[in-house]
A and B are shown apart, each in its own frame.
Chain A
Amino acid sequence: MYGTHNVKSEGRSIGTSFSHYPPSVFRTTLSWRFIPVLVAVLVLIPVGTVILSFLTPTGDVWQHLVETILPSLLINTFWLALGVSVSSALLGVSLAWFTAVCDFPGRKIFSWGLMLPLAIPAYVMAFVTLGLFDFTGPIQTSLRSWLGPELFWFPNVRGRLGVIIVMTLAFYPYVYLLARNAFLTQGKRSLEAAQSLGLNRTQGFLKVALPMARPWIASGVMLVLMETLADFGTVAVFNYDTFTTAIYKAWFSMFSLSAASQLASLLIVIAFVLIVMEQKFRSRMRYAETKQSSRVARISLTGWRAWAVAGFASATLFFAFLLPTTQLIIWATHNFVEEFNQLYLSFLWHSLILSGLASILICSVAVLLVYSARRHPDIVTRVAVRVATIGYALPGVVLAVGIFVPLAWLDNWLREMAMQLFHIETGFLIQGTLAAMLIAYMTRFLAVGHYPIDSAMQRITFSIDEASMGLGLNGWNMLKRVHLPILKGGIYTAVTLVFVDVMKEMPITLMTRPFGWDTLAVRIFEMTSEGEWEQAALPAVALVLAGLIPIVLFTHQAEK
């Protein structure tokens, strides 16, 4: 979600923050300058830990990995990444084109409805699909009884193709939203220009609209790739081994921290390649941005074309949203009496309290980051902010490993010190505490909270700061009395986004949660790993409902 919103800002924020003269009259206070650097270091510790273990391979572990699982992991990851990105691009771009530029029956509903799949976590989509289409699922069972077992054939849903289809249905909205944004801001002007130069609409789409939208589409595909690589829940449900599941297994089943770090370090290298590529595409968007034409005349599709497009959009919406949610509701109501009990309420409570704490922490840090970047828009601060918000591109499992290792080291050191100095057995002080978990969440989701607050800050002109300085405000007072009230809207958005993202988060929660802190996502993981789809439904419904909040919020804002 956040990635899509990032997009336009980046170009614009650069434009505004540099064209405005930096407020030179600000007195340099060290404390404000210090904040972004501190946060950046905090983010860099897990990243650095993981990279460090890549640079110092421990011979036998590495050897073992190469001989056993590594080749299949690489092949699996490669096909998954290729399949999901290509099919998400095709699905997302075509749907974006039809809803942004053409007109067909039901277009208005589809243009809104086609982003609904964002509300369903990929792992929920995964277990619902398996439950529906698996050998013992309702679809195969009823088909078998109609056709008889000898005539009946059904593709293997659990295979590679199944994972690719599920992830495509879950992640295509990233490409869809970005491409749609591109097509909408292009307006029809460029297409008209192409037509006045003798190209028909199809040629215009291929030669003008598509190349102009390329940075957006590429950026969307990058987000899809990041999500695919970071995904843990979906591949776990499908038993499809990728780096994330291998890291998790090395961590819990083999109890080999070094194997986990080795795998994580490979994954982080791939993730960094993606980050660099994404930044490159994003910086190009600025140039391709054009003014929106005032009145957009749509290409009206008629006859069979109109119905074919409507059918295509309906099919996507059906398989990506309606079918899974309907099945979830059926299962949840079916099981409601048994499942809705004290245990369920404790999962819900844990999810809410964790998401709440995380969003308060993350958004407070984000406000500090944004404010100090405004006071000191120099290169150090800018780099620090960039580094601090890099975590959204890093898989949760990697961050969990990267945070656990230094914390465990610190814990051991503290314990030894206590033993030596005071002869007390303190036990572990930090590992397995909420604090460790919250730090992990912060490294992962700081970008999500940072973006809306930052773009709200960009809209405040520097003369406001100067005016308030002229009235005798500075530092904390200015933040409290001037910026915070104006930023309120952006902060609410940030809190909502972080809240929902943390609630859906699975691997960090699984790997760093204190004993007994089971959340909805953890419950879903445990039930699905035993194949108990129906029992996973009730917690999943809560997550989907939470996921709908930001979508409704943003469509509401967009319509204003």
Chain B
Amino acid sequence: MDTPLLELTNIYQAYGDQIVVNNLSLALKKGVIGCLLGPSACGKTTVLRCIAGFEPITAGEIFLNGVKVNSSGFSLQPEQRHIGMVFQDFALFPHLTVAANIDFGLHRMHHTERALRVTEMLQIVGLADVTNNYPHELSGGQQQRVALARALAPRPDLLLLDEPFSNLDVNLRERLSLEVRDILKSQGATAILVTHDQNEAFAIADEIGVMHHGEITQWDTAYNLYHRPSSRFVANFVGQGVFLSGRVLDSRHVEIELGILTADISHQCASDCRVCGEGCYVDVLIRPDDIVHDDASSLQAQIIHKAFRGAKILYTLRLPGGSIALSLVPSHHNHAVGENIGIKLEVDHVVAFSQIAP
């Protein structure tokens, strides 16, 4: 019961002397949708292709349902892994109709069962009316659904999605990603998604691993990645925000130029501080929602940029001390660039990194 469906232990992958995946481990339980999130060329697609069996690994082991499928020098053939894959360019078979594409992987099933499964998948992804069309006759969104249906049809133990929405336009991405989550959950599928788009990751995944230089820097929920990033890289990569310089007073107080913050200081900071002791200098992460607009506040900041976001406006502010910060303000507080507005800090949880650390 406790065996994870997928387990990667200390895997390495390298092309020549360029290390692509560096000592990476992860475990995924059955029914969970995981995500590898990271900038381009961080090695996330390579990890996915290693799991699928398309790339060999240089060291480490991969287990599927407790069975070893990869170790150095051994690699189970991709077709024997029961892993479905949705490719970035969908890789639909252009010579086959939608139905035939979905049917393609069902060759081990009985004839009647096959037909039923194809019809069922067509229903699930909502493509019943284009059954006999060819891929080139479909829109991007429809092609994406065919790719998903084709991969899910043989009921794979694990589904891998490689940047599945990057070929679609932005409006479609968000809608489809929610839809895909519903489909995956309704099928009880276990899946790993690879993406560089955090909104996509947040919309689909239960657990997200942020990847950097071939390593997972943090494996966590979307909430924690945003509010409790464990490294500067994650703090920068996920969400917006700025770092303000500050000084730790004790385990519950940090002083920054806007005043003294009183809150739980996240353990990362605490561990940093144990090294250098109290009074050390840190960079405090301030998210746009940590700075609240308050006309009554005596603390004033000057607007240097504004970006209208519909319900909210994102102001870029110059603080009295000269630092720059962001603030997300309800859009009825409409101010002009150059104006001074009153602000107030609302920080429940301080995220701070030692200034010595890179």
Contacts and interface: CB of A to CB of B under 8 A. Distances in A.
Interface of A: 189-190, 192-200, 207-208, 211-212, 214, 286-291, 293, 297
Contacts of A194: 79, 104
Nearest to B147: A193
A199 B80 CA distance: 8
Contacts of A196: 52, 78-79, 83-85, 105, 151, 156, 160
Given A197-B84, A198-B79, A297 B94 contact: no
B320 to A, nearest CB: 50
Interface string B61-104: 00000000000000001111011110101011111100000001
16 contacts: A193-B85, A193-B91, A195-B79, A196-B78, A196-B83, A196-B85, A196-B151, A197-B154, A199-B79, A200-B79, A214-B95, A287-B134, A287-B136, A288-B95, A290-B89, A297-B54
Contacts of A290: 89, 91, 94
B150 interface: yes
Contacts of A193: 85, 87, 91-93, 150
Describe A's contact surface by its main secondary structure.
Answer: helix
A200 B80 CA distance: 9
Interface residues of B, number: 31
Interface in B35-69: 52-55
A214 B93 CA distance: 13
Contacts, number: 76
Contacts of A214: 95
Interface centre among B89, B91, B105, B154 (most CB of A within 10 A): B91
A192 B48 CA distance: 13
Contacts of A287: 94, 134, 136
Main secondary structure of the interface of B (DSSP, over half): loop
Contacts of B92: 193
A208 B91 CA distance: 11
Q: What 8 A-B pairs come out closest when comparing CB atoms?
A: A197-B105, A196-B85, A195-B78, A189-B91, A193-B91, A287-B136, A288-B94, A211-B95
Given A198-B79, A200-B77, A192 B93 contact: no
Nearest to B95: A211
Nearest to B80: A198
A192 B91 CA distance: 9
B104 A212 contact: no
Interface string B134-157: 101000000000000011001010
Chain A CB within 10 A, most for which of B79, B83, B96: B79
Contacts of A195: 53-54, 77-79
Q: Which of B83, B94, B156 has the most CB of A within 10 A?
A: B94
B110 interface: no
A80 to B, nearest CB: 30
Contacts of B156: 196
B111 interface: no
A312 B84 CA distance: 36
A119 B8 CA distance: 54
Contacts of A207: 104
B15 to A, nearest CB: 9
A240 to B, nearest CB: 38
B274 interface: no
A112 to B, nearest CB: 25
B108 interface: yes
A3 to B, nearest CB: 22
A192 B89 contact: no
